[in-house]
C-alpha cells in the first residue's frame, strides 16, 4: 500500500514535473488541501499520463474552472458517474489519490452487453497501468438495476458529464437523479454538465439528438430533492447551432459524418453545454 506521504512524490515523478511547494516530501498529505485546487491540477493536466488528444480537449471541457465551480477539493469523497474512457478520471484520480477518495461509478456490468463489458475492462486496465495515480480509485457499477452504487449519505460530491441524455433515452433519468441524491451527504453537491438544447424547442423525453433543455435538467434534479444553487457558462459555446444532421455527435470529438463538412464542424468546436451546481439540503 502506498502511503499518503509517498503519493505526492510519486505523482510528481510520474508527471515528470517538479513538486509544488505544498507537496514537499516531508509535508503531511493532509496539508495538500491547503494549496489552491488549480495549483494542484496544473501538474496533473500537464502529466504524461494524458494523451495529446485528451489535453487538446481542455479548451472545451475547462477542467480547472469546472471543478472549482463544483467545489471539488482534496480530502473529499467524489463520485463520477459513468466516466466512460476516463477523461475526467485522469484528472480526479490523481487529485484525490493521496488525500480523499475518487469513486468511478461505471456502467453496471450485470447483464451488460459484450461491448459494455469490454469498455469496463479497458477502464480497469487503464487504472491498473498507473497505480502511482489510481491506486486508491474505487470502481463501482451504476445503472437502472444498480442504483445503490455507494452507501446512502456517504459522499461529498457526485459529478456527471454529458450523461443525462443517455438516461433519458433509456427511460430512467428520474431514478438516476434520485439515486445521486441518496448517495450524497446532506449539504453535498451534485455537479452536472450536459449538452444544452435551445430553450425555444420542445424537449423530446428521449433526447435523441443528445441535447437537453436546461430547464428540463433542473426539473429532473429538483424533483429528486435537489436545490439549484448556481449555474455557469464555463462550458458554453455560442457557435453551436444545435441543428446538426446527426445531433451532438456531428460535432467533435465524435464527428459522426467523418470527412463530410469536417472543417465546418471543427470550426464550431464541441457542443454548447450547461454547467449546473445543485445541493442536497442539509435538512
The domains found in the chain, sorted by start residue, are 37-243+273-280 (3.40.50.150)
Distance CA 35, CA 48 (A): 22
Distance CA 137, CA 124 (A): 10
Res 28: pLDDT? 38
At residue 87's C-alpha, the angle toward residues 49 and 75, to 5°, is 85
Q: Which residues pair with 230 in a beta bridge?
A: 277
Distance CA 264, CA 260 (A): 9
Q: State the DSSP H helix or E strand holding residue 220, giving kind and residue range, or none if neither.
A: helix 214-223
Indicate the average pLDDT of the chain: 90
Q: Name the residue with cell 453545454.
A: 273
Confidence of residue 35 (pLDDT cuts 50, 70, 90): confident
Yes or no: say if 162 and 81 are a contact pair by the CB < 8 Å rule: no
Yes or no: say if 179 and 100 are a contact pair by the CB < 8 Å rule: no
Res 283: pLDDT? 81
Yes or no: say if 49 and 91 are a contact pair by the CB < 8 Å rule: no
pLDDT by residue (tens digit) across 84-142? 999 999 999 999 999 999 999 999 999 999 999 999 999 999 999 999 999 999 999 99
Res 34: pLDDT? 56
Distance CA 101, CA 136 (A): 7
Amino acid at each position: 500500500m502506498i502511503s499518503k506521504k509517498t503519493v505526492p512524490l510519486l505523482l510528481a515523478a510520474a508527471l515528470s514535473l517538479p513538486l509544488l511547494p505544498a507537496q514537499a516530501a516531508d509535508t503531511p498529505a493532509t496539508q495538500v488541501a491547503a494549496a489552491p485546487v488549480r495549483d494542484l491540477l496544473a501538474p496533473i493536466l500537464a502529466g504524461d499520463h494524458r494523451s495529446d488528444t485528451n489535453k487538446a480537449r481542455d479548451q472545451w471541457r475547462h477542467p480547472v474552472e469546472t471543478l472549482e465551480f463544483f467545489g471539488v477539493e482534496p480530502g473529499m469523497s467524489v463520485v463520477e458517474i459513468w466516466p466512460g474512457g476516463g477523461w475526467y478520471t485522469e484528472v480526479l484520480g490523481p487529485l484525490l489519490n493521496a488525500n480523499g477518495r475518487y469513486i468511478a461509478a461505471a456502467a453496471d456490468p450485470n447483464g451488460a452487453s459484450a461491448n459494455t463489458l469490454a469498455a469496463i475492462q479497458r477502464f480497469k486496465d487503464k487504472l491498473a497501468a498507473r497505480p502511482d495515480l489510481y491506486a486508491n480509485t474505487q470502481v463501482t457499477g451504476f445503472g437502472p438495476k444498480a442504483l445503490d452504487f455507494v452507501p446512502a449519505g456517504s459522499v461529498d460530491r457526485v459529478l456527471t458529464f454529458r450523461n443525462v441524455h443517455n438516461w433519458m433515452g433509456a427511460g430512467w433519468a428520474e431514478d438516476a437523479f434520485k439515486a445521486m441524491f441518496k448517495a450524497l451527504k446532506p449539504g453535498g453537491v451534485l455537479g452536472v454538465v450536459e449538452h444544452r438544447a435551445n430553450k425555444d424547442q420542445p424537449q423530446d423525453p428521449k433526447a435523441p439528438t443528445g441535447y437537453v433543455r436546461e430547464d428540463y435538467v433542473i426539473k429532473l434534479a429538483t424533483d429528486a430533492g435537489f436545490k439549484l444553487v448556481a449555474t455557469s457558462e464555463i462550458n458554453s459555446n455560442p457557435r453551436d447551432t444545435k441543428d446538426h444532421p446527426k445531433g451532438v455527435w456531428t460535432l467533435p470529438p465524435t464527428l459522426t459524418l467523418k470527412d463530410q463538412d469536417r472543417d465546418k464542424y471543427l470550426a464550431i468546436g464541441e457542443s454548447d453545454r450547461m454547467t449546473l451546481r445543485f445541493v442536497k439540503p442539509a435538512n
